[in-house]
């Protein structure tokens, strides 16, 4: 039997930051890949 899309997204594991591994507060289907702290570090480094 085919799973509904709602059930599919509900069963996804929590997303983790690709840099530090912390759990992200974003929704599972979000395109965010890094936590706020790591994202700020990258933004600050690019501004230099």
Q: What is the pLDDT of residue 1?
A: 79
Residues 1-36: tens digit of each pLDDT: 788 999 998 888 888 999 999 998 766 567 888 888
Say if CB 39 and CB 19 are below 8 A apart. no
Task: Name the helix (H) or strand (E) containing 30.
Answer: none
Task: Parse the chain into domains and list their residue ranges.
Answer: 5-47
- Alpha-carbon distance of 41 to 27, in angstroms, equals 22
What is the dihedral sign for C-alpha 36, 41, 46, 48?
A: positive
Is the pLDDT score of 39 beyond 70? yes
As beta bridge partners, residue 16 has 23
Q: What is the pLDDT of residue 42?
A: 62
């Amino acid at each position: 039997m085919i799973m509904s899309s709602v059930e599919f997204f509900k069963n996804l594991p929590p997303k983790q930051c690709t840099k530090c591994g912390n759990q992200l507060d974003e929704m599972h289907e979000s395109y965010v890949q890094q936590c706020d702290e790591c994202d700020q570090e990258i933004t600050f480094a690019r501004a230099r």
